[in-house]
Structure 1
Amino acid sequence: MTLLAGPASPPVPAPLRRDVAGAPARAGDPTDASPRATPYLELAPAAAVRRFRRLAAALPGTAVHYAVKANPHPALLGALTTAGCRFDVAGPTEVRACLAVGADPADLVHSNPVARRDALAECAALGVGLFVVDSPEEAIKLAESAPGSRVLCRIVTSGSGSDWPLSRKYGCSAPQAIEVLALAAGLGLRPAGISFHVGSQQRDPQAWASPIAAAARVFGLLREHGIVLDTLDLGGGFPAHLEGGALPLAAYGAAIETALRRSFDRADLPRPHTLVEPGRSVAGDAGRVVASVVGVLRRGDTRWVYLDAGVFTGMVETLDEAIRYRISTSADGGPTGPCVLAGPTCDSADVLYEKQPVQLPLALAEGDRVVLRSAGAYTTCYSTVGFNGFAPLATVLVDG
């Protein structure tokens, strides 16, 4: 078993201790009597590799670039590299993490549309050749920082159908993308194509159809002006098995294939090279957060269950209750009732689920184990170091 401190940002975590055998532990269950201190993330790199292969099979001919930001653990990156996965990076730290496990810099795409000049220059110096922008200002910055790079322009989507929409911070309109890519060509960059993201934990496989059609219009109009694009970045959004379930990856592959055939695959507009940037769908189901009950209290008519893992110690995606994890406990099997689920810090925002209470066993008590499933993505990478005196979420490698 290897125990590592989960990083607040993507740097490679350093090992803290090993068990006597030095081998990964086997995944347990909520009744596990292990003396391991909670909370921690159990991470199974082999499970992530299986998910990568299923997604690749659902999207034949499409390059799969795992989004390192979801979980940058070196064992995970190494296993994915060995399996043939490529990577989506957001900055030099993630580039170095990929290179450290043997990834080819030619297999990296820098998808952060607004980045520091020195970060862009550093990524280019490390060998990254494909970057995403979404504005004239960022195209100019890229041309000055990483001259001659290939460039994608990100277009905005509604995010409708996703649990965590990404529709405001990044992306421009399709007409603006035409202007950005034409400017990029004039600046000496090499316009490569269009990127977009339909929102994280996207429940609707049809969500890709509209941005694919918009991208095809950009491809066609720029072709008329002598700029031939060859790459379409379909982004991430593919789901993990969170509360509410998810359609099989094959359903997403079939819907995307239909949309590509409708918008491309014709003499005047051949199908471009396609890639995807999954994070949650690869790493999510490969991990689970194991926590302990700190206390169970009655506040008026409401039962509150406090865990030693909370919003600021790994579960940041429960903010606004956007991401809802499947939960099991060591007290399962008896009657259940609603409760508010809260974290351990003194911050009043450290409440996981309150608007929609969770059903947990009425017998749940201090010291019981609680497992939040499909939590391998966006937990350790957002665990705040030393927040309110609480350590960042640790990672335990397991077979799985």
Structure 2
Amino acid sequence: MQAFDYSFDLDGYISKERFARLKAFSADKETPFVVLSLGVVAGKYDSLRKAMPYADIYYAIKANPEKEILKLLIERGSCFDIASIHELDLMLNLGAAPDRLSYGNTIKKARDIRYAYDKGVRLFASDSEGDVRKLAANAPGSDVFFRILADGRGADWPLSRKFGAQPEVIFDNILLAKTLGLNPRGISFHVGSQQKDVTQWRMAIETCKELFEATADRGIALDLINMGGGLPAHYRTPIEETYVYAAEITDYLREFFGDEFPRIIIEPGRYMAGDAGVLVTEVVLVSHKEREGGLPWIYLDVGKFGGLIETIGESLRYPIYSERTGESRDYILAGPTCDSMDVLYEKNLVRLPVNVDEGDRLYVFTTGAYTQTYSSVFFNGFPPLRSYVVE
């Protein structure tokens, strides 16, 4: 087992002034819940816009579809990556124009393709012959970008195998799309969510260049690269600032495309919303399972099924803060449900003060992305994770 020290300076994640406001706001609210800061989301958007001014930002709605967040990003000029017709309807109802939406899911029903097309969507992702044929039949003449495989090495939450195809298969699908009356626009990839190894972008961009050249030889001029998501949020493992990743990625684009870039799309989700959220939870029980030795367990009123599913495999290590001070020790951390899978950290132990007790509140940072949308509907009778939005 490995101890993971969760004692840290608040300033690494939240200012003391903002934390005081968070405490005051949440004091009378029943845990667990997430508090989301619109100011943090706005700051992340503006930082990315400044760091990559040449790129079109398509926010990945699935990271956090809170309406206030979406309205903020619409006002700021963002475009949006949708994964389903339900996200499409959400965005249209909020006033987003269909030409600012990209249907980025490569797995979609024919009738959903037709629905999106009838609503005005004209930009679709694909990675298979079957999907290309459905697009041609249900979204004729639409722009299509094709997703290549990326192995996701270096990412805390890899997105390999299920999505994308080998370049040779993508090449064939591009030619097929052209013959079926679609408009092949470019290549997409995703280097894995919470990707800290910036060289993964280089390898993917190089493959894009190779496909651009190969299709040009067959008379198809691609002009778009969708670089997906991957930019990291601030969990426990140190990361670089936004401008550092952006500068490296820009250098890779120049290496393979010179100063005349294709159209570049980026789809930040975790990067945009993750740092904006603080999950407030209560200690339900501190349990010692052995008379001598052994590790104590802390059970929270939120766990894997309440929004922290990305602790599966202990992949993501959330910063957890206790206001208690003094001597600390290692704990195993678990959720409240009657399921033995609902253990958050057992290999990477959590170090918290020895005087943590039942009824204490703990604050879990970087929980603005993939938490409330991942929480179960009614498992063990627990309601979905609530959220509140503040400025």
Whole-angstrom CA distance in 2 between matches of 1:393 and 1:197 = 28
RMSD: 1.6
Q: 8 Å contact 1:212–1:263 — kept in the other structure? A: yes
Superposition pairs for residues 89-238 of structure 1, below 5 Å?
89-238=82-231
Cα distance in 2 between the residues matched to 1:45 and 1:283: 9
Give the partner amino acid of 2:61: V
Counterparts in 2 of 1:201 and 1:214: CA distance versus 1, 3 Å: same
Structure 1, unaligned runs of 5 or more? 1-24
Tell me the residue number matched to 2:262. Answer: 272
User: Which one-letter code corresponds to 1:73 in the other structure?
Assistant: E
User: Which residue type is aligned with residue 342 of structure 1?
Assistant: A
| AA partner of residue 360 (structure 1) | L
Shift of 1:137: 1.2
Instruction: Please state whether the residue corresponding to 2:351 is helix, strand or coil.
Output: strand
Match of 1:17 in 2: none
Shift of 1:110: 1.0
* Equivalent in the alignment of 1:387: 379
Conservation of the 8 A alpha-carbon contact between 1:154 and 1:171: yes
Match of 1:254 among 230, 236, 247: 247
The equivalent of 2:295 in structure 1 is 302
Residue 386 of structure 2 corresponds to residue 398 of structure 1: no
Q: Distance in 1 between matches of 2:176 and 2:282?
A: 55
- Confirm whether residue 345 of structure 1 aligns to residue 358 of structure 2: no
- Indicate the larger mover: 146-155 or 118-127: 118-127
Please give the residue correspondences for 1:29-68 in structure 2 after superposition, counting only pairs within 5 Å.
29=22, 34-68=27-61
The question of whether the paired residues in 2 share the 8 Å contact of 1:327 and 1:371 is answered with yes
- Which of 284, 288, 304 matches 2:274? 284
User: Residue 12 of structure 1 corresponds to which residue in structure 2?
Assistant: none
Q: TM-score, normalised to structure 2's length? A: 0.92
Mean Cα deviation higher: 299-308 or 94-103: 94-103
Aligned residue identity for 2:255: R
CA 64–109 in structure 1, closer or farther in 2 if over 3 Å, else same:
same
Contact preservation (8 Å) 1:68, 1:87: yes
Look up the SS of the partner of 1:124 in the other structure.
helix
Deviations 1:30-71 (A, max 9, x none): 697712100001011221111011111111210111100000
1:158/1:92 CA distance change after superposition, 3 Å: same
TM-score where L is the length of structure 1: 0.90
User: 1:102 Cα deviation (Å)?
Assistant: 2.0
Hey, what's the Cα distance between the residues in 1 that align with 2:357 and 2:175? 62
Distance 1:33 1:189 in 2: 51
What is the Cα deviation at residue 117 of structure 1?
1.4
Separation in 1 of the partners of 2:354 and 2:113?
53
Tell me the distance in 2 between the aligned counterparts of 1:96 and 1:278: 20
User: Following the alignment from structure 1 to structure 2, what is the Cα–Cα distance between the partners of residues 368 and 81?
Assistant: 38
Unmatched 5+ stretches in structure 2: 1-17
Q: 1:30 to 1:329 in 2, by over 3 A?
A: farther
Q: 1:72: Cα distance to partner?
A: 0.3
Task: Write the deviation string for residues 116-157 of structure 1: whole angstroms up to 9, x where unpaired.
Answer: 112211111222111111111111111122222111110011
CA distance in structure 2 between the partners assigned to 1:258 and 1:178 by the alignment: 26
Query: Per-residue CA shift, 1:322-375, capped at 9, x if unaligned?
Result: 1111110232x2111111110111111111111111111111111100111011
Matched, 1:365 2:357: yes
Report the counterpart of residue 327 of structure 2 in structure 1.
335
Counterpart AA for 1:294? V
**Secondary structure of the structure 1 residue equivalent to 2:367:** coil
Shift of 1:29: 4.9
| Cα pair 1:41 1:290 within 8 Å, conserved | yes
Aligned length: 371
Separation (CA, whole Å) in 1 of partners of 2:67 and 2:26: 28
Shift of 1:207: 1.4
Moved more, 177-186 or 26-35: 26-35
Q: Secondary structure at the match of 1:295?
A: strand
How big is the shift at 1:26? 8.7
Query: Secondary structure of the equivalent of 1:292?
Result: strand
Tell me what 1:21 maps to: none
2:283 — aligned with what?
Answer: 293
CA-to-aligned-CA distance 1:213-252 (integer Å, 9 cap, x gap): 0001101111111111111001100011111121011111
In structure 1, C-alpha distance between the alignment counterparts of 2:117 and 2:38, rounded to whole Å: 29
Q: Distance in 1 between matches of 2:384 and 2:318?
A: 19
Asked if structure 2 preserves the Cα contact closer than 8 Å seen for 1:156 and 1:170, the reply is yes
Counterpart amino acid of residue 183 in structure 1 = L
